[in-house]
Structure 1
Amino acid sequence: MRRRLITLLGPTIAFLALALPAHGAGPKMTLGAAEDAVRAPDLVTARTTMTQLRLAGFTSVRVTSNWLPGLVAPTSNELTVLRNIEAAARLSGVKVYVSVYHPGSRTTPLEPTAQAQFARYAAALAESIPTFDDIIVGNEPNLNRFWLPQFGLDGANASAPAYLSLLARTYDALKAVDPGLRVWGGALAPRGGDRPGGARPTSSPTAFIQTMGAAYRASGRTTPVMDGFAIHPYPDNSSQSPDFPHPRSTSIGLADYDKLVALLGAAFDGTAQAGSTLPILYDEFGIESAVPAGKRSLYSGNEPATTKPVDESKQAAAYDLGLRLAFCQPNVAGMLLFHSHDEKALLSWQSGVYYADGSPKASLSAVRDSLDRTRGGSIARCDGLGLDVALKNVRFPGRAEFLGGKRDVRFRCTLDCAWEVVATRTTTGATAARVRGYGRWGRAIVASLRNRKLGRAPVRLTLTVTHPVNPGLSATRESAVLRPA
């Protein structure tokens, strides 16, 4: 339940609120889609799309809610849509992130009154729907499409200090509703020109973070402005591999994790705002696939030449590689693919695993498997990562079953596991039989000793599981003494 804080204690409690874990990589990272197709005026439609997300392997969704000048709370229609999302997510077991932002640069909240209205809107949204615990503030404020001005008359970056002011106001308003809310700042585009006099004035994420840090330090603020940092690490085009680095440019992609952490550290370390330990959310990452001829009638317009879409097998491979990269990046809290469903306009994004009509692409099953291996901890081998596997629902055969030849050991692993069952003679300690195999997390696994020659001496069965890719501590269970004959 939400709690309003006593005004006197609000800033102190908000400051002391628990932060996100510093290390979010590995099987616990959030895996979902940035998908507004779940925004629906009725629960049935929202639930149908949410179910499709789950079938594709997504367990999180990021939706948007647009603030407009003058609004201090979501409209009744907006609340209806958001409550449908909340109900559909709850029924489908999906976690919701909400991105609150203004829809374009003409509505940029620059003045104190507008920023106060924006902050009140976000707080009212969070208070109205208590299960929405993750709020992303803004969307790509380093692009002129969403934020103007980008630069001042003197050519200095103007968007980052103005956005920082909005972020701070919104952070304080949200924490006054509930100090446990997680507030994500940034939501930056991966590229920008840093040319004040250009026809399309944009700021690179590198310059934006640096200027945000300078503005924060100059403000004298003694409390944070965000619990995590969101960014959209798209490749330069859909044909570029996700592991392409940008060491000599100001762009930030998935392969530029170390650069991003260093930038955040230089900007904020040593202040009340975490920097190099700040959790990172890749809340948009998309690879567009080419629309096959049989589906062309579902779409309108023409694909921009700069997009360079790939076939669906390459889309799946790119998503797999992206997940492998993020999995081994210690501060990463999650990745949200943009989208689950294609947009109909070819000028927009055809990066989903479903076509615009909701039918599955060939990439869907491969992406679902990549998501599953990520949750099981097997998508990549990471230096220094040790995963401890636990056992669940272990059932050894009973004495009568074993004597009658039913010699199956049934169990589940909490992560992907390499398993071994050893039958040891209790009289001599010698090994009578051994079986090995691999299992996926959460699935029912059967290790069978049927048709194995065990002799007549009593035996004890020992089940041991360990992680097959990032081994940590093993888990072991033993049976009672069993007689083969």
Structure 2
Amino acid sequence: MSPRRLPLVVMLALAAGALAGPARGAGPAMALGAAEDVVRAPDLPTAQAKMAQLRLAGFTAVRVTSNWLPGLVAPTADELRELRNVEIAARLNAVQVYVSVYNPGQKTTPLSAVEQSQFAQYTAAIAADLPSIDDIIVGNEPNLNRFWLPQFAEDGSNASAPAYLALLAQTYDALKAVDPKVIVWGGALAPRGSDRPGGIRPTSSPTAFIQAMGAAYRASGRTTPVMDGLAIHPYPDNSSQSPDFPHPRSTSIGLADYGKLVGLLGQAFDGTAQPGSTLPILYDEFGIESTIPAGKRSLYTGNEPKTTKPVDERQQAASYDLGLRIAFCQPTVAGILLFHSQDEPALLSWQSGVYYADGTPKSSFWAVRDSLVRVRGGSIAHCDGMALDVAAAGVRFPGQAAFRRGVRTVRFRCPLDCAWTLEAVRTSGGVAATARGWSQAGGVVATLGRAKLGKTPVRLRLTVVHPINPGTPHSVTSGVLRAA
């Protein structure tokens, strides 16, 4: 391997509110992307074209999958080629890559010591062979019988969480041996489950699964962590349900159940070597399906399940915007990945992208892209306790000759959205003229317009502050300028 760059639920929900405290906000630095395998391709030009399309939609992160099968200790040559194409295309488009490694179904659940060792070796080989990929997600929805069996032991106790924890621990150690800086995401949990051992479809709720993981970790006596962050899929109960719908009296976890989730993690792991209530959270799948217009119906096959309840494209965009606003104000959230950027053509699957199945944009494309821009600028929502400091960079005041010709323009850059105030301050005291404005992150031009300043010398003073979540104002002042 080549070296790299180195019954309790209601009480818990109430307690979690006190644990979380005032929201400081995940803020503009959180990862914004899509869970999207369409960027995987056997040739680089195709991967590059798909990655550029994803980037055009405003996404700067992508999660791709890699399926482990029993017997594999490293990706096949074809698998590695596709992942390398993703890595290169992502680097060319400034996109962060997450790789989710998991078994494709319940028949391939890695339960034995041999299989778990193979899985860990396979995942470590990906980390070693793809040096620019630093985020690895271990498993996919191990709380569902679709991906993990058994879910329960003969006595009805949870069996999936302890077995998954053992896999996660071994994989964590293998990845850290390749590079300690690799970020290992555990969980990738589905948002709900029945917790009925004798049910037709045995599944575990994320609430019960996290509690069982904590119990297994404490019983193991392990003195090092098993994950650097928790991944979870906070889908609403259906696409027509608002993302701000909470589940205080159930075991489900959606975007609005952040306090409950933090409380669960704290109860499971606080006081051990594994961080709990401070653990970073990645929403690595969040999708809202939209209805397919008649003009695009020929691109799709099959029929939509009645339980999906897709919405029109306007509502899809509004739900994504609300989901982003919710996540933006949650202190330990590291990112949110929409599922998908482009629709799947089978209606039994997901039509949750901002592109149709043929790659053409939906009407929601523009609104979602704007929402992503407002997240990066820090203005999508006001968060209690959040204070974003903005400092103007590359400030260019007019020179003396230009100022005498009537140039009253200052050019600068804001790393976040900013509100600016430009003043002409007399050297003798007082303000001769003032102009104010607001700009999104990037290059800004502030001007006093045609303000008449007389013959008294002045200094131009530029002050910037964040318009929605203001921190400390930042001012820059020019030298002495004379209008005449």
Give TM-score scaled by structure 2 length. 0.95
Shift of 1:474: 1.4
Q: 1: distance between equivalents of 2:478 and 2:24? A: 37
Shift of 1:141: 0.3
* Partners of 2:24 and 2:384 within 8 A in 1: no
Q: 2: distance between equivalents of 1:3 and 1:245? A: 42
Q: 1: distance between equivalents of 2:143 and 2:65? A: 18
Shift of 1:183: 0.3
Q: Which structure 1 segments of 5+ residues have no match?
A: 6-21
Identical aligned residues as a percent = 75
Specify the alignment match of 1:476 in structure 2: 475
Amino acid at match of 1:290: T
Amino acid at match of 1:289: S
Secondary structure of residue in 2 paired with 1:481: coil
Specify the alignment match of 1:459 in structure 2: 458
Shift of 1:2: 2.7
**Superposed counterparts of 1:78-477, under 5 Å:** 78-426=79-427, 428-442=428-442, 444-477=443-476
* Partners of 1:462 and 1:479 within 8 A in 2: yes
Amino acid at match of 2:141: E
Q: Encode CA deviations 1:314-356: one digit per residue, 9 max, x unaligned.
A: 1111011101110110010000000000000000000000000
Amino acid at match of 2:221: G
Q: 2: distance between equivalents of 1:165 and 1:450? A: 67
CA gap of 1:255–1:4, structure 2 versus 1, over 3 A, is closer
Q: Which structure 2 segments of 5+ residues have no match?
A: 7-22
* Partners of 2:24 and 2:329 within 8 A in 1: no
Q: 1: distance between equivalents of 2:451 and 2:391? A: 27
Q: Encode CA deviations 1:236-259: one digit per residue, 9 max, x unaligned.
A: 000000000000000000000000
Secondary structure of residue in 1 paired with 2:104: coil
Shift of 1:468: 0.6
Secondary structure of residue in 2 paired with 1:480: coil
Q: 2: distance between equivalents of 1:456 and 1:445? A: 28
Shift of 1:24: 7.5
CA gap of 1:354–1:304, structure 2 versus 1, over 3 A, is same
* Partners of 1:25 and 1:331 within 8 A in 2: yes
* Partners of 1:23 and 1:279 within 8 A in 2: no
Q: 1: distance between equivalents of 2:236 and 2:382? A: 23
Q: Encode CA deviations 1:17-37: one digit per residue, 9 max, x unaligned.
A: xxxxx9881110011000000
Shift of 1:210: 0.4
* Partners of 2:27 and 2:329 within 8 A in 1: yes
Specify the alignment match of 1:11 in structure 2: none
Q: Encode CA deviations 1:110-132: one digit per residue, 9 max, x unaligned.
A: 00000000000000110011111
- State the aligned residue count: 467
Shift of 1:152: 1.1
CA gap of 1:325–1:198, structure 2 versus 1, over 3 A, is same
Coordinate RMSD, CA, aligned: 1.3
* Partners of 1:24 and 1:334 within 8 A in 2: no
Specify the alignment match of 1:16 in structure 2: none
Q: 2: distance between equivalents of 1:4 and 1:223? A: 22
Specify the alignment match of 1:42 in structure 2: 43
Amino acid at match of 2:453: L
* Partners of 1:303 and 1:347 within 8 A in 2: yes
* Partners of 2:24 and 2:385 within 8 A in 1: no
The runs of 4+ residues in structure 1 deviating greater than 3 Å are: none
Q: 1: distance between equivalents of 2:392 and 2:226? A: 41
Q: 2: distance between equivalents of 1:75 and 1:389? A: 47
* Partners of 1:421 and 1:435 within 8 A in 2: yes
Shift of 1:465: 0.1
* Partners of 2:190 and 2:232 within 8 A in 1: yes
Q: Encode CA deviations 1:82-128: one digit per residue, 9 max, x unaligned.
A: 00000100111101000000100000000000000000000011001
CA gap of 1:62–1:3, structure 2 versus 1, over 3 A, is closer
Shift of 1:446: 1.1
Secondary structure of residue in 1 paired with 2:462: strand
Amino acid at match of 1:429: G
